[in-house]
């Protein structure tokens, strides 16, 4: 992975105005990365995914030259305030910002609020996270004021297009939901290109006391893309997180999700829907840390796997000593549409407290032949019957998306996806 070191050196030279402390942060993180390198199959929690594709191509960090004309049609979700980033470049003039929300470039955020960086970037055992810290070249800090109730969702669209050679981006998003605030944030990655690219994203989200945050993450990169993500949530007292992670894009996808229920009364719902086709490999690991008493966490993840795709889900709920009255649930359901599709799921519970309510479960199945016959016996053709069953499978988790416009957007993605795999009415 020599290209990474070369890119780091060039970046440090290019941004010669960067504060020394930030440079030190980059160098330290790179050192940590170099000690271990990329994960391999012997690593606990990484054993089902092969990252060698990232070594076979030399990716160059996106530069100011990598800004094609903004496409006329971009993915749109109705009634949102959009923050647009093209190939890593924040398009401030094409973005609509909300009152009571501060949007800063990372340099600006570092200059005004360096503590927030220190919270997220130090001592991380995930090498991709360290690479992101070393090479971070895009992303934003988004700070929602205390008591702010933001009606329209904030739609961050990170779009990759018009590439001429393989590039990589290491975006960092720092999101702070102020105390008693209420916000919906959509973190959306999409792309269309014939050239390979690599996104290595870190998102750090802090929910202050009693904040309510709806976070929808949509990953629909081009199949020429590789998407690696580390999404960490930290919830303060009585904060409430409703997260939905939709993924249908990129040939290689690995997301680490961590939820720290750091103070009493916090509750998190983290649900997801993954659609995989061709030879896509979609891998998610989620760790829920119940650190304090009276917190609840819910997870429902569904994978629909077609062709020769693979879906990996590794979920752990850790209930610390003293986290009494914890209520934790975890459910994973895989639907295999072909004999060649593969699902690996492992739900795990680690409980160090004695007064808790925890459950977990995982199922993997194919389309119910009896249900198909039942529908056909009522005059419904096979294709429609399959469509109804697959949509029905997705529905349970789709119903948890509370914003109608987001629900409509993802529902359309599901319909298009089903058309691509040949299931149409």
Partner 1 sequence: MLEIKDLHVKVKDKDILKGINLTVHPGELHAIMGRNGSGKSTLANAIAGQDSYEITSGDILFNGTSIVAESPEERALAGIFMSFQYPVIIPGVNNTYFLKAALNAKRKHQGKTELDAVEFLKLIREKLAVVEMDEKYLHRAVNDGFSGGEKKQNEILQMLTLEPALAILDETDSGLDIDALKIVAAGINNYRRDDRAIVIITHYQRILKYLEADYVHVLINGKIAKTGGENLAEQLEDKGYSWLDN
28, 180, 307, 396: which one binds partner 1 (CB under 8 A): 396
Quote the tokens at residue 404.
């109608």
Cβ–Cβ under 8 Å, residues 293 and 265: no
Instruction: Between 50 and 396, name the residue whose CB sits nearer to partner 1.
Output: 396
| Position 381 contacts partner 1 (CB under 8 A) | yes
Listed ranges 26-34, 251-259, 372-380, 403-411: which one lies at the site for partner 1 (CB under 8 A): 372-380
Among 107, 320, 338, 391, which residue interacts with partner 1 (rule: CB under 8 A)?
391
392 binds partner 1 (CB under 8 A): yes
Residue of 233, 244, 393, 417 interacting with partner 1 (CB under 8 A): 393
Q: Select 59 or 246, whichever has its Cβ closest to partner 1.
A: 246
Contact stretch for partner 1 (CB under 8 A) within 20-28, 48-56, 323-331, 365-373: 365-373
Separation of alpha carbons 203 and 283, rounded Å: 17
Out of 389, 411, 415, 420, point to the residue binding partner 1 (CB under 8 A).
Answer: 389
Task: Name the residue nearer to partner 1 (CB basis): 368 or 419.
Answer: 368
Using the rule CB under 8 A, is 388 a contact of partner 1?
A: yes
Determine if 301 is a binding residue for partner 1 (CB under 8 A).
no
Question: Strands across the sheet with 326-336, in order?
Answer: 89-90, 81-86, 154-161, 182-192, 212-220, 240-247, 267-276, 296-305, 326-336, 356-366
- Judged by CB under 8 A, the residue of 371, 407, 411, 415 near partner 1 is 371
Residue 134: alpha-carbon gap to chain centroid: 20
C-beta closer to partner 1: residue 2 or 378: 378
| Nearer to partner 1 among residue 348 and residue 366 (C-beta) | 366
- Classify burial at 152, counting beta carbons within 10 Å of its beta carbon; exposed 0-12, middle 13-18, buried 19 or more: middle
Provide CB contacts within 8 A for 20, sequence distance 6+: none
| C-alpha–C-alpha distance, residues 126 and 201, integer Å | 12
How many CB atoms sit inside 10 A of residue 149's CB? 11
What is 184-244 written as a DSSP string? EEEEEEEEE-SS-EEEEEEEEEEE-TT-EEEEEEEEE--TTEEEEEEEEEEE-TT-EEEEE
Is position 415 an interface residue for partner 1 (rule: CB under 8 A)? no
Query: Could you tell me how many helices (H) and strands (E) the chain has, helices first?
Result: 9, 21
Per CB under 8 A, 361 contacts partner 1: no
Q: Does 362 bind partner 1 (CB under 8 A)?
A: no
Applying CB under 8 A, the span of 93-101, 262-270, 306-314, 364-372 interacting with partner 1 comes to 364-372
User: Least distance (Å) from partner 1 to the CB of residue 380?
Assistant: 6
CB of 360 to partner 1, least distance (A): 20
Is the Cβ of residue 185 or residue 385 nearer to partner 1 in the bound state?
Answer: 385
**Residues 105-134: x where in contact with partner 1 by CB under 8 A, - otherwise, as a string:** ------------------------------
Distance CA 129, CA 312 (A): 20
Residue 370 binds to partner 1 (criterion: CB under 8 A) = yes
Tell whether residue 264 is a contact of partner 1 (CB under 8 A).
no
**Is residue 382 part of the contact set for partner 1 (CB under 8 A)?**
yes
Phi, psi at 234, each rounded to 5°: -130, 125
Q: How far is the CB of 415 from partner 1 (least distance, A)?
A: 15
Closest CA to 212 of 244, 188, 235, 187: 235
Closest approach, Cβ 301 to partner 1, in A, equals 16
Q: Can you tell me which of 58, 346, 380, 411 binds partner 1, judged by CB under 8 A? A: 380
Say which residues have a Cβ less than 8 Å from residue 284's Cβ, sequence separation at least 6.
245, 247, 253, 254, 255, 256, 257, 272, 274, 301, 312, 313, 314
Name the strand (E) or helix (H) holding 160: strand 154-161
Tell me the window of 101-109, 118-126, 245-253, 385-393 that interacts with partner 1 (CB under 8 A). Answer: 385-393
Task: Name the phi and psi angles at 260, rounded to 5.
Answer: -105, 110
What angle, 0 to 180 degrees and rounded to 10, lies between the N-to-C axes of helices 2-14 and 20-36? 180
366 near partner 1, judged by CB under 8 A: no
Give the pair of three-digit tokens for residue 372.
């198909």
Residues in touch with partner 1 (CB under 8 A):
368, 370-371, 373-382, 384, 388-389, 391-396
């Amino acid at each position: 992975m020599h290209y990474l070191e070369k890119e780091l050196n060039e970046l440090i030279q290019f941004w010669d105005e960067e504060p020394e402390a930030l440079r030190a942060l980059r160098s330290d993180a790179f050192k940590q990365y170099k000690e271990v390198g990329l994960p391999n199959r012997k690593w606990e929690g990484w054993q089902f995914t092969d990252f060698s594709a990232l070594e076979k191509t030399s990716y160059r960090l996106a530069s100011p030259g990598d800004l094609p004309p903004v496409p006329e049609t971009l993915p749109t979700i109705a009634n949102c305030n959009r923050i647009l980033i093209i190939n890593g470049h924040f398009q401030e003039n094409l973005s609509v910002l909300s009152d009571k929300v501060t949007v800063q470039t990372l340099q600006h955020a570092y200059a005004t609020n360096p503590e927030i960086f220190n919270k997220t970037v130090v001592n991380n055992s995930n090498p991709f996270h360290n690479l992101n810290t070393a090479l971070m070249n895009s992303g934003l800090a988004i700070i929602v004021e205390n008591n702010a109730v933001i009606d329209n969702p904030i739609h961050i669209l990170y779009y990759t297009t018009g590439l001429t050679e393989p590039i990589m981006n290491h975006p960092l998003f720092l999101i702070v939901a102020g105390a008693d605030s209420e916000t919906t944030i959509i973190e959306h990655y999409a792309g269309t290109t014939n050239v390979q690219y690599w996104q290595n994203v870190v998102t750090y989200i802090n929910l202050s006391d009693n904040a309510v945050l709806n976070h929808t993450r949509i990953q629909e990169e081009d199949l020429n893309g590789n998407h690696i993500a580390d999404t960490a949530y930290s919830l303060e007292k009585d904060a409430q997180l409703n997260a939905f992670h939709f993924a249908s894009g990129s040939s290689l996808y690995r997301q680490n999700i961590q939820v720290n229920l750091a103070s009493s009364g916090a509750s998190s719902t983290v649900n997801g829907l993954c659609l995989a086709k061709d030879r896509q490999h979609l891998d998610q690991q989620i760790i829920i840390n119940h650190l304090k008493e009276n917190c609840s966490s819910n997870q429902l993840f569904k994978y629909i796997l077609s062709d020769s795709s693979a879906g990996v889900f590794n979920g752990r709920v850790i209930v610390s000593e003293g986290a009494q009255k914890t209520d934790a649930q975890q459910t994973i359901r895989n639907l295999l549409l072909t004999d060649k599709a593969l699902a690996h799921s492992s739900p795990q519970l680690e409980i160090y407290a004695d007064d808790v309510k925890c459950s977990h479960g995982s199922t993997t199945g194919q389309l119910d032949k009896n249900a198909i016959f039942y529908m056909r016996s009522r005059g419904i053709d096979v294709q429609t019957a399959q469509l109804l069953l697959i949509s029905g499978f997705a529905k349970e988790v789709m119903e948890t998306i509370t914003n109608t416009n987001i629900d409509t957007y993802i529902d359309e993605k599901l319909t298009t996806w089903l058309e691509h795999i040949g299931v149409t009415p």
